[in-house]
Amino acid sequence: MPEASALYPPVSPHASGMLDTGGIHRVYWETSGSPDGIPVLFVHGGPGSGTSPNQRRFFDPARYRIVLFDQRGCGRSTPHGELADNTTPHLIADMEALRAALGIGQWLLFGGSWGSTLALAYAEAHPARCLGLVLRGIFLCRRSEIDWFLHGIRAFFPEAQRQLAEFIPEAERSDLLAAYHRRLLDSDPAVHQPAAWQWATFEASCSTLLPSAELIAAFGTEKTALSLARIETHYFMNDIFLPDNSLLANVGRLRDIPAVIVQGRYDAVCPIVSADELARAWPEARYVVVPDAGHSAFEPGIARELVAACDRFAACGGFA
């Protein structure tokens, strides 16, 4: 967790509800902070992790109308772990429907890891709805990034990657993604739950510069582990349901939107090379490298930069 001074004090929601998507999914949302403040949408990671109360604390509650939502199949959204009608275009449509339901004309998007992926995808689809973007731990969901996450990451976390791999019989280890995906789709909890725990705790073990038993325990809970692992493998197997490299290819649509990219130098889950490529393709965005941080938004240096970026935007409408 971050230093106490990095984030704003805890704040409670003043409204919440379930967005009816017109299908089987119902999406949880909540608002906190100032009802008349700058609307900001927190786009959580995973896909499949859900939101938590501490994620409200990146924003000054006196200046922001803070909106959190649990993406399809995770957190308080229902049905839990559901993969039907669960694609990136569906999530983008949910975000637009939520914006309209809350009477918001434009909002600031704040997302890290998969949250940066989805925030970019939404902004490229609906640039006129975006006041700005605060992005962290850039993940463009290309095949090379997924291969790094499952295999290349052993260069920094050999013990964690070995545990992930050795859970799978040796004959299947050449394709860990497919092997886990098969198990996570199995209806038998005796099959899918151990696989979910292995996947989720592996990710948590690699997400901070220094080990965090608290994060590993949170990711390893039965509910979070299942939605995170099942939905991540679903999206990764399907190349996030977007054309190859579309997020970089369409970055020109974002030229006029204020943006900041915050990246931990030693982020092993989403290596800095992706943030570097995005920053080079989008020179108008402010690019901040935190020299002593890994992946998590709650790394002290990353948390400070994210809060500072949101404070600057509230003060002047930009990140310069």
**What one-character-per-residue DSSP string does 250-267 give?**
TGGGGTTS-EEEEEETT-
Q: Do residues 196 and 255 lie in contact, with contact meaning Cβ atoms separated by under 8 Å? A: no
- Contact assessment for residue 172 and residue 166, using Cβ atoms and an 8 Å cutoff: no
Which helix (H) or strand (E) element contains residue 130?
strand 130-138
> Which sequence spans correspond to the domains of the chain?
15-142+241-316, 144-239
Catalytically annotated residue among 25, 44, 234, 295: 295
Sign of CA dihedral 264, 33, 118, 125: negative
Choice among 44, 227, 267, 296 that is catalytic: 267
Q: Is 267 a catalytic residue?
A: yes
Q: How far is CA 12 from the centre of its chain?
A: 22
Residue range 15-142+241-316 in CATH 3.40.109.10: no
pLDDT tens, N- to C-terminus, the chain (320 residues): 444 468 999 999 999 999 999 999 999 999 999 999 999 999 999 999 999 999 999 999 999 999 999 999 999 999 999 999 999 999 999 999 999 999 999 999 999 999 999 999 999 999 999 999 999 999 999 999 999 999 999 999 999 999 999 999 999 999 999 999 999 999 999 999 999 999 999 999 999 999 999 999 999 999 999 999 999 999 999 999 999 999 999 999 999 999 999 999 999 999 999 999 999 999 999 999 999 999 999 999 999 999 999 999 999 999 98
The catalytic position among 32, 49, 77, 113 is 113
Q: How far is CA 13 from the centre of its chain?
A: 21
pTM of the predicted structure, to 2 decimals: 0.97
Quick check: is 192 catalytic? no
Q: Has 205 been annotated as catalytic?
A: no
